[in-house]
Each structure stands twice: as C-alpha cells, then as structure tokens.
Chain A
Amino acid sequence: MDFQVVWDNLSYFFVGRYPKGPLGGVGLTLYLAVVALALSFVGGLILGLLSISRNRAVRWVSSSFIQIIRGMPLLMVIFWMFFLLPALFGKGMPASMTVITALTLFTSAYMSEIVRAGIMGIPKGQTEAAVSTGLTHRQTMLYVVLPQALRNMIPSFVNQFVSMIKDTSLAFIVGVAELTQIATQVNNRTMMYPTEIFLFIAVIYFVICFAFTELSRWLERRLAYTKSI
C-alpha cells in the first residue's frame, strides 16, 4: 500500500479548496452535521412537543409527518429536497443547503421521538407537584419537566449527532464536496489507490464518531445527578 496519495492531498481531504475556494472535506462534513444538528434540535423539540399536545388534530399532523419521514430512506429525502427546493425557491439554492434541509427534516423526526420519550420518562409526580403549586402547564413544562428531560436526552442527542456525521456521506450523491465526495474525486483523478484512499476516510469517520460516542458516555456519567448520600 502506498499512502503517498493521501499525504499529497491531505489539506484537500480536510478542508477542500478552502481558503482559496469553498470549504470541503472533513470541514464541510462537520459543518453540515453541526448546522443540521442544531436545526434538528429545534425541529425535534417542536415536533416532539406537538406530538404530545392535548389537541388531537395537532398531534395527528405531527405524528403523521414523523411516520412519513421515518418510513423513507434518507437518500430519498435528499433527492426530494435536491429537486424540490430549487423548484420552489429558485435555482440559486446551493446543493449543501438542500442537503442540510433534508438532514434536518430526517433527523428532526427521530429527535422528536427522543424528546417525546424523554418527556414521558419524567415521573408524573413532578408534573403534579408543579401544577399543585399553581404553575400553568406551560410553566410546568418549561421549568420542571423540560430541564430534567433534556438532561436525560443529552446522550441520545450525541448519538444522533454521530449518526448524522455518517449520514452526511450521502450528500456525495448530489455533488456536495464533503469527505466522501472528495475521496471519490481524488480516486477518480489518480485511479491507482482506491484501497488507501477509502481506508483513510474510513479511519477519519471512525475517529470522529468514536470521539463523540466517548463524549456521550462521559456526559452520561457526569449528568447522573442521583448520587445518593
């Protein structure tokens, strides 16, 4: 094996043509994952809260949306957004935006289940205690239930982030220059070293995901506040 091809293209793998051109490679992968995760966090929270709403119609709409998204491969959602969004909002929309939208829709649906389960996991006595002091349902959710639920959800959120990092590789299919796309480009250019190139990016994906998984474990231990006396 000859890893010279990797060293020759190292900065291309990590940041693409940045700073002379647009960000690519690992940098773009992380960028897509972070932006989509931040948006999915908000989306998941909203969808999750709607899916336990006391209004039946609201509950129905959000659960249907969640079910539909969960019943589709992510690649399909990416294709849909890639063709749908420019048709709706004009051709100027960059491919990375369509990918972020697709990842956000997809991950929000999964996050909403985490949020829902997290809220349902808080003992009923907490809500009863809060409303019996006169707090409204909204205040109870805001000050008593959500702070505890979100804390319990952090490890699941980090896991979702790890999945998201891997899922960004699908952006390759619509020509977004993230890590997998860059690897394919370098491979097509050199034609000689597919094993080395794909082994290298596999290791990079693994290292990033492993680091975040470890972070999630560490957080889980730190956040266990039920230390007994």
Chain B
Amino acid sequence: MIRFEGVHKWFGALHVLNDINLHVKPGEVVVVCGPSGSGKSTLIRTINRLEPIQEGKLVVDGMDLLDKRTDINKLRAEIGFVFQQFNLYPHLTVLKNITLAPIKIRKVPPKEAEAQAMALLERVGLPEKRDAHPAQLSGGQQQRVAIARGLAMKPKIMLFDEPTSALDPEMIGEVLQVMKDLAESGMTMMVVTHEMGFAREVSDRIVFMDHGVILETAEPEEFFKNPKHDRAKQFLKQILSPMH
C-alpha cells in the first residue's frame, strides 16, 4: 500500500530522512515514534507529498510520487490526513467541513454528501454538532470532526500526525477510541504518536526513528519488552517514566 525504497530528504543541509525503507501492507496499522526532530512527521507528510522527497522511490496505492505524470490531487483524495492542530476550516460549519471535498471533487450531490457526513459524525460520536462552527468545539471534538473530514473521501489510507499532542489530557481518550475503532474496521493507518498505550494495543508494527533514520521496526510486544537499539531503550525509558 505504501512502499518507501531508499528515500532521502534534505531541508537545506539538514538530512531529515536518511535511506528510509518501509513497506506498509493493506489493513496494517503502523505507529511511528521517536524523539522530537527525528523526522517522523516529515516521514508521514511525504506520503501525500505535503513534503516532497528528493531521492529514492515512494509508491503509494500503486502511484509513484516522484513520477511527474502522477496526479497528486487524485492520490491525495485517496489518503485521509489528520493534523496535530486539527486545521478545521473556521468559516464553515462542522457539516460543511466534512462535505466540502466530496461535493467539489467527487461531485457527490449535496444531499447525499450530507447524509454520508452525518453517518461519519455518528461514528465519531458528534451528530449533534453538525451546525456548530469549529471554534465552538473542544479540542477533542475538533479532532474527531477532523477525522470524519478525513474519512469523507472514503480514503484507502489514513495518516495521523501527532493527533493527540495538542489536546488536554482528558480529551485524548475520546480521539484514541475513534482511531482504535477505525483500525479495527480494517483501515490502513500510519500514526505518528507518543501514545504508547495506543501503540501497544492497536498497532501491528512500531517504527522507531531518530535523526532521520529508521533504527528499529518491530511488533509492539517485542518493541516494548525487548527494544534492540540503545536509542530506543533510552526513548522508552524516558517516555514511560519521565521522572527518572
């Protein structure tokens, strides 16, 4: 579904992605973790070319991202993306946030798009907020709407870039629950997160990165019990018991 082969990326002189090789299979849930500045957000943002890569091969849903003939808008429509800062459209209601892309891109009739949006709002537990504006919602609610917006195009892949990092602690659970339900429905997902509970319980594989390099790829049980790399051991120690 997503295949990185020897992918490199630089920001000026900074080598942010260094020889990335990774294959995400359909239906797989992959969590990417690592210290800040390790390139994990950049990694996930290359998949829908919010960040272009400079070298290597990246094939998503059969489309080559470095191929000039690839219609990037078409590819992006197949990939839902959820941001740390939600990025809902503040001038539109919740319902219109969700229906904008299906109506404008897929030419879904407005009535039908609204019905689909309502079904998605039910799924994330917010049907009563259909006519609210984003500013009237809590962070957790905004993020759930953002997930519904991402799902509105019926994507094959969902990408999450630190979806709970901007939330107050008591709102993290509701968002993770929606993501867990989504994972159980068979969605192919890639999630950048520090929520190790989620990683352990929901993911099929964990990718650990530092300094633009994938240092370790392992199943969650293995990763938490038996991290191979020293940096991964240190990272787990810091994140699981920050006081020590």
Contacts and interface: CB of A to CB of B under 8 A. Distances in A.
Given A125-B83, A226-B90, A133 B76 contact: yes
B100 interface: yes
Contacts of B105: 133-135, 139
Interface string B45-86: 000101000000000000000000000011011111101010
B50 A225 contact: no
B85 A134 contact: no
A144 B135 CA distance: 16
B87 A129 contact: yes
Nearest to B79: A132
A139 B106 CA distance: 13
Contacts of A226: 90, 135
Contacts of B80: 132-133
Interface in B95-111: 100-101, 104-105
B106 to A, nearest CB: 9
Nearest to A139: B104
B135 A136 contact: no
Interface residues of A, number: 23
B96 to A, nearest CB: 9
Q: Specify which of B83, B90, B133 lies most central, judged by the most chain A CB atoms within 10 Å of its CB.
A: B90
A121 B19 CA distance: 36
A13 to B, nearest CB: 43
B150 interface: yes
Question: Size class of B's contact patch?
Answer: 20 to 34
A147 interface: yes
Interface in A113-164: 123, 125-126, 128-136, 139, 143-144, 147-148, 151
A133 B135 contact: no
A133 B101 contact: yes
Nearest to B100: A143
B87 A125 contact: yes
B149 A133 contact: yes
A227 B135 CA distance: 6
A228 interface: yes
B48 A132 contact: yes
Nearest to B85: A125
Interface of B: 48, 50, 73-74, 76-81, 83, 85, 87-91, 100-101, 104-105, 133, 135-138, 146, 149-150, 152-153
15 contacts: A129-B89, A131-B76, A132-B50, A133-B149, A133-B152, A134-B101, A134-B105, A139-B105, A143-B104, A148-B89, A225-B90, A225-B91, A225-B133, A225-B135, A229-B136
Given A148-B91, A225-B135, A229-B138, 5 more contacts: A130-B89, A131-B50, A133-B77, A133-B105, A143-B100
